[in-house]
Amino acid sequence: MSYAINRVTVPVSVDEEKCIADKGCTVCVDVCPLDVLAIDLAKGTAYMKFDECWYCMPCEKDCPTGAVNVDIPYLLR
Amino acid sequence: MNATMSSVLQDEELLARLNDADPGVRRIAVMDLLDEDDYDQVEPYLINALSDADASVRAQAATALEGFETTEAVETLLHALDDGEMEVGRAAAQSLAELKDPALGALLIPALEGAQGATRAAIFRALRELRVPAALEPALSSLADEDAAVRESAVGVLGYLKAEQAVLSIAGLATGDPEPSVRRIAIGALGFAQDMGQVLPAMVAALRDEHWLVREEAAATLGKLAVPAGVPNLITAMGDDYWQVRLKAARSLGRLRSAEALPALFEALFHEVSNLRKEAAVALGEIGDVRAVPFLEQAMKDPDPDVRKLAGLALSRIAQVTHS
Amino acid sequence: MNTIEMEVDVLVIGGGTAGPMAAVKAKEKNPDLRVLVLEKANVKRSGAISMGMDGLNNAVIPGHATPEQYVKEITVANDGIVNQKTVLAYAQNSFDMIQELDKWGVKFEKDETGDYAVKKVHHIGTYVLPMPEGHNMKKVLYRQLKKRRVEVTNRLVATRLLLDSNGAIAGAMAVDCRTADFYIIRTKTVILATGAAGRLGLPTSGYLFGTYENPTNAGDGYSLAYHAGAELSGIECFQINPLIKDYNGPSCAYVTGPFGGYTANAKGDRFIECDYWSGQMMMEFYRELEGGNGPVFLKMNHLAEETIAQIEEILHSNERPSRGRFHAGRGLNYRDGMVEMHISEIGLCSGHSASGVWVNEKAETTVPGLYAAGDLACVPHNYMLGAFVYGKFAGESAAEYCATHTLPPVDAGQVERERARVWGPLNVTDGLPPSQVEYKLRRMVNDYLQPPKITRKMEIGLQRFAEVGEDLGRLSASNPHELMRAMEVHFIRDCAEMAATASLYRKESRWGLYHYRADFPEKNDEDWFVHVQLKKDDQGEMTCFTRPVDPYVIPLDEEEKTAYQKLRIVKESAIA
């Protein structure tokens, strides 16, 4: 069996200027009920790793610097 | 676990971050303290963080101290109310407002001494939910404070205390305060009163207040007080310009079971605002007078199904009352 | 990948609403008990109330409603099929729970003297207690867990329960969704609080995670209980809700109702008397949606500006706060347009309807040492406050059980089989991605189980679900996260099979749209005034049987019985 790669737009975006993951913050990653966010260790910022979003917003609300934005997934918009 | 063990955090990595040179790192470390298992261990570190050089760390610590109901935590937060940075004071006020242990009220009262403006208002906001009797005197003496936020929070304390000896003062504020928001809270705060002689004139005056929110609160509170002498004024309020006021008046007339109110309610049953028609139908059911039957039967043809449903319920209620 | 062994007295699976309450209450009963909350996400923001709640819609507060009134209403709303004792136990404990939550810091609306401000929505009583500042729920619960020294493990997916030789609880097994470490947790008691089976049907958007329920709630507990031999009940009474189309979140007619908002058809006319969610209401909703006057809308544009502003403030800050963002994206303003609505995909959830693990009024299931609370425990229309109350019952009952039982030994065979099953997808290099299998499975659920239910279609559905069952061995996972999704496909498939089996068994229609069978369109009280139970029999087969409805403790008169049958507005008079 072989696999194809499909591109998708993701609803959660992170402002890399504001994100303070490099200071030890993992709030958005911690609070996501679906565990779809992760920290990019090379960049020191959070990002959406899996397109499995419930647009529930704790990541945005709990972010201490207002770096996270949750949009409605494109399929629902 | 021995005493020394339980007083010191063992998490080396977290301790290092709490002392990091970068305030951003310290702030995150303060947040992470709440994930530790032993909150008795955590508390001293949070208190310590409230004297951090960086305001964002202090504000984070003030927020994190919410729910730590100890003398030390409360005193630290009280102190933080006067922090030069606004965000710290605001966070401390918010955490204090969440206090639930009435025993801590004793700490708040002396702090009122010398406290002015926002700080004083924050302490009163914290005292409201605690319902500490000792808050009565300072709250009463703050009703004439020049800061509206102080008057608002002080009268809030008195309402929650349901202190009969404060009724006259609250009533005075309800009619005389220059701020509508203060007058509204004061009127609502009278909802516990027993002595109608003192309350009724204030309610009557409030029903004629220039601000509709005050009139609405008065119309609702008269129903809660269940004072029959208020009926004529509620009937007058049924003609208020604002439907919200009329709605509460109708609701209160139902709670008062006032037959006097029938004609006004019959009229309201066919008013253009359907919310009011609904409330009138409910009230007529509560009053339970057979004279309402033909009007309610007509309301059964109302275009709004909620009105029809409630008219139906009112009719069956009147039938029950007359049979028993 | 490691195997980690743990040992506790009370294991709570699920840290959303009922779970934390159960853990706290078990600790309160006996502080020496080792209590562990095992959470698939993170207890800080997990479960159906991750963003809080905008109000209680089943608050039984003295002076506004009585427990007896409440039991009557739920009995009627659930077409008579209720174990009234369970509903009564909830109602009698409802007010105490509100007061306790209040003391913990949960904010309910009060007037200026500190008394609760209750509003009306049901037929007879007054049950709505608004929570305009209800967004702090999880923070409050988290603090209680910490204060009581309840242990918490996050990001663990429970996959099977362990039983002793007598069929009583001996433990549970779980897998870490970040490391794939395998956990064997020995325990005397398990409290299931895993929420609804919310990832059963596929939303019409086609987005796997655009569900009504929190999609983390994949029906884990239904599957765990089933494989442990517990009885489940009312599975055929599906959850189907009226929702904002595409957004798929609640429009909250019960929030807007007291303000004057209502459900209307395309002409702006009302067609149902009462917006309280019930199967009968959903049936009328479905008919209007599919009829000439459809689709259906939430109408608020007739309301005064300050009323709309207040509604926005509540709806856009609690429960599903992204609602406002969705409307903004489409340029919809409550002031000048109506909100298009639709019906949700099917799910299993006793919080809203009645499908769940069978429990008595102490939250005990039919398996010794196993308790259930919240959306997955069969106490009809229980909602959030019911989850808290049954969480409390479960915690207290489990603590009592611990006092008289020792820790059972663990059967190595059960552990070995489960570890092989759980780690299996990591060893399949050339297999099926979980997302594809899940999509197909849930699309089949829509095709064959979405009401109206049709016998032949459900039989075909069962056949398809069996075929997907064959595929499960070919699931592959390239990382621990995908492994979690693979295990969830197992749960979802179990729930699909249960939903079809129970629906086929009850040969009548009941609960409006929830169990509308096109080839048995009538309600048949003579043969089917019973609970339909489902369990795994001794041969490991799925089986259904009936349980009589216990005599009512609160009898109903004739007029009360028909209250929910008269929901549709007579056309001639609906001219608003």
- Test C214 with A1 for CB contact under 8 angstroms: no
Mean pLDDT along residues C13-24: 98
Name the residue among C186, C152, C177 with its Cα closest to residue C5: C186
User: Testing the interface with B: which of C43, C44, C112, C138 to mutate, by most B Cβ within 10 A?
Assistant: C112
Specify the pLDDT at position C340.
Answer: 94
Calpha distance C295→B302 (Å, rounded): 24
Give C46's DSSP letter: -
Closest by Cβ to A20, choosing from B17, B24, B60 = B24
User: Distance between the two ends of chain B, CA-based, in angstroms?
Assistant: 69
**Subunits touching A (CB < 8 Å, at least 3 pairs)?**
B, C
* Model pLDDT, residue C575: 33
The verdict on a CB contact (< 8 Å) between C50 and A61 is: no
Of A24, A27, A64, the CB nearest to B17: A24
Let me know: does C36 contact C195? Beta carbons within 8 Å. no
- How many C-beta atoms lie closer than 10 Å to residue C378's C-beta? 26
**Rounded distance between C-alpha atoms, residue B6 and residue C431, angstroms:** 51
Task: Retrieve residue B70's tokens.
Answer: 């100890």
> Amino acid identity, residue C264?
A
Q: DSSP letter at C342?
A: E
- The lowest-confidence range among B245-254, C123-132, C169-178 is C123-132
Burial C544-559 (b: 16+ CB within 10 A, else e): beeeeeeebebebeee
**Using a CB-CB distance cutoff of 8 angstroms, which residues of chain B are in contact with residue A23?**
22, 24-25, 27-28
pLDDT at C565: 59
| CA C73 from centre of chain | 20
Cβ–Cβ gap B24/A23 under 8 Å: yes
- In this predicted structure, the answer to whether residue C204 has a pLDDT above a threshold of 60 is yes
- Closest among C195, C340, C215 to C265, alpha carbons compared: C340
Residues forming beta bridges with residue C119, ordered by sequence position: C128
Give pLDDT tens digits for B172-182: 999 999 999 99
How do residues C524-550 score in pLDDT, each as one tens digit?
999 999 999 999 999 999 999 999 999
Whole-Å CA distances, B7 to B40, B41, B42, C218, C495: 7, 5, 8, 42, 49
Closest to C499 in 3D by CA, of C244, C200, C286, C191: C200
Q: Is the pLDDT of residue C135 over 90?
A: no
CB atoms near residue B218 (< 10 Å) = 31
Smallest Cα distance from B314 to chain A, Å = 42
How much is the pTM?
0.93
Among all residues of chain C, which has the CA nearest to that of A75? C205
A23 near B60, Cβ under 8 Å? Answer: no
State the Cα–Cα distance between residues C14 and C46, nearest whole angstrom. 9
Domain ranges of chain B: 1-98, 257-324
| Partners of residue C162 on adjacent β-strands | C171
pLDDT per residue over C284-305, tens digit each?
999 999 999 999 999 888 877 7
Over 60: is that where the pLDDT of B3 sits?
no
Q: Mark yes or no for CB contact A27/B27 under 8 Å.
A: no
Please report where in the chains the tokens 């569900």 appear, as a residue: C211
Grouping H, G, I as helix, E, B as strand and the rest as coil, residue A11 is: coil
- CB-closest option in B159, B243, B306 to C112: B159
ipTM of the complex: 0.97
Distance from CA of C457 to the nearest CA of B (A): 38
Establish how many alpha carbons lie within 13 A of residue C451's alpha carbon, considering only the half-sphere containing its beta carbon.
32
Cβ–Cβ below 8 Å for B27 and A64? yes
Best of B14, B15, B30, B31 to mutate (most A CBs within 10 Å, chain A): B31
End-to-end CA separation in angstroms for chain A:
34
Q: B216, B248 in Cβ contact below 8 A?
A: yes
Mean local confidence (pLDDT), B58-87: 95
- What are C3's strand-pairing partners? C182
What's the burial of C368, exposed, middle or buried (CB within 10 Å: 0-12/13-18/19+)? middle
For chain C, the 3-state helix, strand and coil shares in percent, each to the nearest 5, are 40, 20, 45
Indicate the helix (H) or strand (E) that contains B175. helix B167-176
Residue in C105, C111, C575 closest to B98 by CB: C105
Mean pLDDT over residues B92-103, rounded? Answer: 94
What's the confidence (pLDDT) of residue C572? 38
Of A3, A49, A76, the CB nearest to C210: A76
DSSP, collapsed to helix, strand or coil, labels residue B178 as coil
Given an 8 Å threshold on Cβ–Cβ distance, is C214 in contact with A56? yes
Two structure tokens written together for B103? 């025993």
The answer to whether the CB of C508 falls within 8 A of the CB of C520 is yes
Q: Is the pLDDT of residue B129 over 80?
A: yes
DSSP C31: T
Residue C569 has pLDDT above 70, yes or no: no
What pLDDT is stored for residue B95 in this prediction? 96
Residue C571, chain B, CB below 8 Å: the answer is: no
Nearest CA in chain A to C139: A62
| pLDDT tens per residue across span C54-106 | 788 889 998 888 999 899 989 988 999 999 999 999 999 999 999 999 999 99
CB atoms within 10 A of CB B177: 21
Contacts of C273 in chain B (CB under 8 A): 305-306, 308-309
Mean pLDDT of chain B: 92
Q: Which token pair is B14?
A: 């977290």
Give the closest-approach CA distance of C371 to chain B in angstroms.
26
pLDDT (0 to 100) of residue A2: 78
pLDDT digits over C360-417, tens only? 999 999 999 999 999 999 999 899 999 999 999 999 999 999 999 999 999 999 999 9
Judging contacts by C-beta atoms under 8 Å, the chain B residues touching residue A64 are 27-28, 31, 60
Using a CB–CB cutoff of 8 Å, tell me whether C456 touches chain B: no
Task: Please give the CATH superfamily to which domain B257-324 belongs.
Answer: Leucine-rich Repeat Variant (1.25.10.10)
Smallest Cα distance from B122 to chain A, Å? 24
Q: Do domains B1-98 and B257-324 have the same CATH topology?
A: yes
- Structure-block tokens of residue B159: 């309402």
Res B283 pLDDT > 50: yes
**Average pLDDT for B198-209:** 94
Mean pLDDT, residues C233-246: 94
CA of B241 vs chain A CAs: smallest distance (Å): 41
Token reading at C523? 């309600």
Q: Give the long-range contacts of residues C125-128, CB within 8 A, separation 24 or more.
A: C125/C60, C125/C64, C125/C65, C125/C66, C125/C69, C125/C70, C125/C73, C126/C61, C126/C64, C126/C65, C127/C56, C127/C57, C127/C58, C127/C59, C127/C60, C127/C64, C127/C65, C127/C70, C128/C55, C128/C56, C128/C57, C128/C59, C128/C254, C128/C258
Question: CA distances (Å), C278 to each of C77, C258, C272, in order?
Answer: 6, 18, 12
C210 and A57 within 8 Å at the Cβ level: the answer is no
Q: Where are the beta strands (DSSP E) in C224-379?
A: 232-233, 242-244, 262-265, 296-299, 339-343, 356-357, 370-372
Query: What class is the B1-98 domain?
Result: mainly alpha
Distance between start and end Cα atoms, chain C: 65
Is B98 within 8 Å of chain C by CB? yes
Per CB-CB distance under 8 Å, the chain C contacts of B103 are none
Chain A: give the shortest CA distance to residue B24, in Å.
6
Measured CA to CA, the distance from residue C70 to residue C67 in angstroms comes to 5
Residues of C in contact with A70 (CB under 8 A): 322, 325
